[in-house]
Amino acid sequence: MQKFMKRNWPVMLAVAALAGATAVTPTPVSAQTSVADFYKGKQIRMVIRTAAGGSYDLYSRLIGRHIGRYIPGNPTVVPINMPGGGGLASVNHIAQIAPKDGTSLIIPSLGIAMYQALDFFGENLKADIGEFQWIGNVSTSNPLVATWHEAKVKTLDDARREVAHLGTSGAGSISSQLPAVYNNLLGTKFKVIYGYDGEEASIAMERKEIDGRASNTWASYKATTPAWVRDRKLNLLLQVGLAKEPELPDVPLLVDLARNDEERQIFSFFSKVAALTRPMATGPGVPPDRVAALRKAFMDTMSDPDFLSEAAKLNAEVGPTMDGETVQRLTVEILKTPKPLLEKVRSVMKHREGDEITPTKK
């Protein structure tokens, strides 16, 4: 017996190791069954950072109507609008109040990772975005500076000569900060007008209460005001992203306007932030098998014919999509931006005196 064990010891070790691995590591089938058992009969809350009617609401509800078919166990997805604090109310809810079990989803505000890196919100942000589990990115559509077609300022050169009043939600949004960057580095004369949440800014622009919007994506304009796009009701002054929108080859791209290496680094930082246009996440602490299932369900939804058909009817642009692992990596990269560059970014985001206005709306 001893001779047998000595002669076959390597084989016995291999068999034992294989048996141990099989015992502690679930197979894909068992993992899928476990996730399905958890989600069966449950509700997933789709937390929406704005009131009803805007692009965040549109995309969140659109995805919610389809993604449940691809999540094991087929849970029901229920939309919950949670506006407030420039989107912080919804993010803080996911981090502090929502169950850490994969039953809550959110599309946070554009730029949330940047604001955490800059400590912009201080104690008001009660979440670590790096700990969120990122599920995927619906679209990489570029944010734009746009004015109404009848406004005096129609081009970026016009904005260097004349004042343009741009609507934005508040000091906590990226739409209020990007104009400061343009003023400080591009020599524009933008003034931001606070108090216009979501599509209120578009309504105010049409009424000529303001000249334009400080930041709204091309996909959002096509989804919420397709007639404006069709009838050329907008002057498109500037776009921010890693590459130009294919449909907007003549609209200047921010990074292309850099005059030196320092400006290029700053503009590249904002371009990376802008690439995460519609990222979806669940909260921290969600078990890995559920995160994996949600990521797969998201990507399956993005190619689902019924989903794409409804998106087309709503003029909701989908794609190019980004998988959850890539969103997670980019988010962490933004959070780990070197401090010297963050200091430069912080300095150019400061508004000049008189460039911020809180009006009494008509």
Task: Give the residue ranges of DSSP H helices in the chain.
Answer: 2-24, 28-39, 55-67, 88-96, 112-117, 156-161, 174-186, 200-206, 218-224, 226-230, 261-275, 288-302, 305-313, 324-335, 339-348
pTM over 0.95: no
Whole-Å CA distances, 149 to 26, 115, 125, 228, 305: 59, 32, 37, 9, 36
What's the mean pLDDT when you consider all of the chain? 88
pLDDT over 60 (residue 16): no
The least confident of 110-119, 138-147, 169-178, 306-315 is: 169-178
| Model pLDDT, residue 4 | 40
Q: What is the pLDDT of residue 32?
A: 64
User: Minimum mean pLDDT among 73-82, 111-120, 206-215: which range?
Assistant: 111-120
For the ranges 70-84, 169-183, 216-230, 240-254, which has the lowest average pLDDT?
Answer: 169-183
For the ranges 49-53, 105-109, 258-262, 343-347, which has the lowest average pLDDT? 49-53
Residue 28: predicted pLDDT? 54
Looking at residue 21, what is its pLDDT? 41
Residue given tokens 């009131």 in the structure block? 51
**Rounded CA separation 288/280 (Å):** 16
The answer to whether 362 and 209 have CB atoms below 8 angstroms apart is: yes
Q: Is pLDDT above 50 for 322? A: yes
pLDDT band at 360 (very low <50, low <70, confident <90, very high): low
Ranking 13-17, 36-40, 69-73, 174-178 by mean pLDDT, the lowest is 13-17
- Give the Cβ contact number of residue 118 at 10 Å: 16
Q: Is the pLDDT of residue 350 over 60?
A: yes
What is the pLDDT averaged over residues 164-182? 86
**Is the pLDDT confidence value at 37 over 50?**
yes
Average pLDDT of the residues in 316-344: 92
Neighbours of 342 (CB within 10 A): 16
Q: How confident is the model at residue 13 (pLDDT cuts 50, 70, 90)?
A: very low
pLDDT (mean) for 123-139: 94
Domains of the chain from N-terminus onward = 33-140+277-337 (3.40.190.150), 143-274+344-357 (3.40.190.10)
Percent of the chain residues topping a pLDDT of 90: 68
**Residue 103 region, left (φ>0) first, then alpha (ψ -120 to 50), else beta?**
alpha
Considering only CA atoms, which of 236, 215, 235, 207 is closest in space to residue 359?
Answer: 207
Tokens 């019924």 belong to 306
Percent of the chain with pLDDT over 70: 89
pLDDT in the model for residue 164: 97
Amino acid letter at 152?
K
Task: Determine the distance from the C-alpha atom of residue 296 to the mean position of all C-alpha atoms in its chain, rounded to a whole number.
Answer: 18
Nearest alpha carbon to residue 334 among 345, 348, 323, 324: 345
Token representation of residue 191: 């003034």
**For the residues 139-153, what does the mean pLDDT come to?**
94
Largest CA distance in the chain: 96
Q: How far apart are CA 349 and CA 179, in angstroms?
A: 8
Q: What is the pLDDT of residue 200?
A: 86
Strand partners, 165: 191
